[in-house]
Structure 1
Amino acid sequence: MDFDCDILISGGGVAGLTAAATFGAAGFRVICVDPTPPVTERDAENSDLRTTAILQPARALLEQSGLWERYAPYAAPLQIMRIVDAGGEIAEPRVVREFNAADISDQPFGWNLPNWLLRRELVARLGDLDTVDFRPGTGTRSLFTREGEARVGLSDGTRLSARLVIACDGRGSPMRDAAGIDVHTRRYGQKALAFAVTHPIPHENVSTEIHRTGGPFTLVPLPDHEGRPSSAVVWMEEGPKAQDLLALDTGAFEAAMSERSCHLFGPLTLASRRTIWPIISQEAERLSGERLALMAEAAHVVPPIGAQGLNMSLADLRCLLDLARARPEGLGDRAMLEAYHRARHNDVRLRVQGIDLLNRASMVSAQPLRDLRAKGLDALYALAPVRKTLMQMGLGVR
């Protein structure tokens, strides 16, 4: 049977483009579509100002696909993860625990990069691959599958046949919906602000997560910006408060974020525009259907805690690639996709549930509960074996 491609990828975000580059570099014929062309400049309208921490286990996969050599010059290493409880009457640290990657590895935990830059380098890499046809501005509209093939209708009226469809098309995935796969969603009433800052005190490659109320305030190292130390910030708050913060003028916002950061890096200066998005957890009932694999946010969505989001997606991708290489003749068949679901489903469920618990703990506002959280943090993370286990679990190596 003749196919238009081996793999059709629905979705051209960071995960979808990475899947296209990875399978293309492995020799599979790939078509990747997305209705919205990627924004690849920092200050362009609608650019994604969030950052992504690429954890250790993902680096080998990115090296194989020719992506890491593009990322490396811009990557800020994450050597230490610092957890701060500032849940007292005033915004100041009262419990501080640090996790140093040197305790478990000779490499950093990971490397942080801006999402807009990841898209820029991904698009450039796809341009080098004859095996990949990237079609920005075109989306998926329909899905018809049978035992031997998938047929996908596109927004430009064309229909394509493929051996495997990979849905990387977000939390509202049209391919997942077309396959009739249900999702379970948890809503927290939270929103997250994302932006970049500069500060007078160097971050020294320390990622800092500060817990008070409403959700964590996280500063993740970036390369220097205009000669000053710089960090990416994700500030999670109750929805109405997040909207109020978004509406503040620059001076008032800088005062608010400096206080929320406990002044650990000195006064913070806004170095980008602010973006906002709702926080949910979401989990697909199954990670596969006939000739269809769900990946990334089509399969799972978690709050931005512990750098798990994209790294869960890259674990999905690594699993799919290993299965495809092991049996190229079985690409997209029932045996491959059942094996994919079995291999990933339990890990996804445990991580979604674990991050849900961490987020709920970070949201508490009543002072007795905040005090209890601080005591638990102090007791738990003070134990060296527990600290080491948590670091290994966070990297996905245990």
Structure 2
Amino acid sequence: MIETDILIAGGGIAGMSAAARLAADGHKIMIVDPAPADIGEGSDLRTTAFLEPGIETLKKAGVWGAIKPTGAELRVMRIVDAGGTERTPRETADFDGSETKQGFFGWNVSNKAARVTLMAKLATLSNVDFRFATTVTGFKATSRYGEVTLSDGQTVRAKLVIAADGRNSSLREFAGIKHRRWAYDQSAIVFVVTHDKSHDNISTEIHRTGGPLTLVPMPDLDGKPCSSVVWMTPADRAQHLNAMDDETLSAEITHETMNLFGPLTVASPRAVWPMISQVPSRLISARLALVAEAAHVVPPIGAQGLNMSLHDIETLATLIAKAKHKGEDIGATSLLKSYERRQLPKTLARVGGIDLLNRASMFEPKTLRDLRYIGLSTLNRIGPLRKLAIKVGIGK
């Protein structure tokens, strides 16, 4: 029998961020993940735009200083309405980071770099026990502990168990928490491009029939400006694009981006991710809290996914710190109910809002596309609405 303060299932970016953040407050942490210890950078081609207040959480975790230099600053978030099939910009709205308190929106970092940095940090912490190649095979709650059985045959007793084990969370299932999932018949193809024109630290999200096409700044590659691409499109077309050779795909994305960046050159392998949304009926059970994709899954619009996860982590960490300071039980039902009261309404509202944005971006009838254009135009021209959009966009 192993005893710890907090057991975290899931060693992805969210799980490792939770471990580092909670370890910084002095808690004894065990984190388990099915990946092998030599996973290194992995094969994830995606990037993450870390926004405030998520960056503040990573600062508290003691990792932001190492993550920041690996990414590119996001100074402006640009939304372009490209009409329908004509592929011409009808409206461009720039939301400037200078309008925020910190003067920027965030940093775009490759998932590979974030993962390696977090793994290196956790390896230095004496109060973190990282178990690789290990899965959770059972869970039950008692009045004092959450008991977790592991694939290596060991049993762990923790005051609190955190499920950061993804959209198909085993812990969520063991706790009997139901969830609702819906698909869009849409996939995102992700890869990296270089281009002649500078991105000027502007993240550009182009809305046109089929879904948004987003180019997010990255550090230069081989001396050329570089951006990560998240191209959401009907599932069949995503597979068609993925089957193209690099030269053909480069020409296709240059056309789709209306030459806003000049000629684009594919500079990485690709990956295709089916688009879904998902929410659970609850965020807690006895001795258990759901965070990250165990708690919410959204399409990659507005860089919300991992930033929502960091918000989960910070809310939970703050409540746990207060309980520890008062000498109270950090896994008490009252604490977990406080977490759910704070996070569940926000989660449902944000998942619903992103769902609506994604459906709006897929509009095909001209009347609906025109409504999308009018909405963006109104948002762009009315100052208070712009400020509200910026506040909502960074998760405040």
TM-score > 0.5, shorter chain as reference: yes
SS at match of 2:125: coil
Q: Is the 8 A contact 1:22 1:64 kept in 2?
A: yes
1:162 to 139, 158, 165: 158
* Residue equivalent to 1:263: 259
Residues 1:302 and 2:298 aligned together? yes
* Residue equivalent to 1:29: 28
Q: Which amino acid aligns with 2:382?
A: L
Q: Is the 8 A contact 2:78 2:95 kept in 1?
A: yes
Q: Which amino acid aligns with 2:110?
A: P
Q: Is the 8 A contact 1:193 1:236 kept in 2?
A: yes
TM-score (norm 1): 0.96
The structure-2 alpha-carbon separation of the partners of 1:262 and 1:228, relative to structure 1 and needing over 3 Å to count, comes to: same
Q: Is the 8 A contact 1:214 1:238 kept in 2?
A: yes
* Residue equivalent to 1:333: 332
Superposed CA deviations along residues 177-199 of structure 1, whole A, max 9, x for unmatched, are: 00000111121111111111110
Question: Cα offset for 1:371?
Answer: 2.6
Q: Which amino acid aligns with 2:163?
A: A
* Residue equivalent to 2:18: 19
Identity %: 48
Q: Distance in 2 between matches of 1:341 and 1:105?
A: 28
Q: What pairs with 1:348-387 in structure 2 (closer than 5 Å)? A: 348-387=347-386
Residues 1:126 and 2:122 aligned together? yes
Residues 1:392 and 2:371 aligned together? no
The worse-fitting range, judged by mean Cα deviation, of 145-154 and 288-297 is 145-154
SS at match of 2:233: strand
TM-score (norm 2): 0.96
Superposed CA deviations along residues 184-233 of structure 1, whole A, max 9, x for unmatched, are: 11211111111111100000000000011111000011010111000111
Q: Distance in 2 between matches of 1:297 and 1:106?
A: 28
Residues 1:233 and 2:229 aligned together? yes
Q: Is the 8 A contact 1:3 1:163 kept in 2?
A: no
* Residue equivalent to 1:216: 212
Q: Distance in 1 between matches of 2:263 and 2:139?
A: 52
* Residue equivalent to 1:312: 308
Q: Is the 8 A contact 1:25 1:131 kept in 2?
A: no
Residues 1:288 and 2:281 aligned together? no
List runs of 5+ in structure 1 lacking aligned partners.
Answer: none
The worse-fitting range, judged by mean Cα deviation, of 251-260 and 374-383 is 374-383
Q: Which amino acid aligns with 2:154?
A: T
Q: Which amino acid aligns with 2:231?
A: W
Q: What pairs with 1:194-205 in structure 2 (closer than 5 Å)? A: 194-205=190-201
Q: Is the 8 A contact 1:196 1:231 kept in 2?
A: yes
Superposed CA deviations along residues 7-56 of structure 1, whole A, max 9, x for unmatched, are: 11000110001111111121111111111237433xxxx51111111112
Aligned length: 392
Question: Cα offset for 1:89?
Answer: 4.3
Q: Distance in 1 between matches of 2:75 and 2:82?
A: 22
Q: Distance in 2 between matches of 1:66 and 1:159?
A: 30
SS at match of 2:53: helix
Q: Is the 8 A contact 2:247 2:266 kept in 1?
A: no
SS at match of 2:58: helix
SS at match of 1:54: strand
Q: What pairs with 1:58-137 in structure 2 (closer than 5 Å)? A: 58-137=54-133
Q: Is the 8 A contact 2:148 2:157 kept in 1?
A: yes
List runs of 5+ in structure 2 lacking aligned partners.
Answer: none
Residues 1:54 and 2:50 aligned together? yes
Question: Cα offset for 1:325?
Answer: 0.6
* Residue equivalent to 1:40: 40
Aligned CA-pair RMSD: 1.3
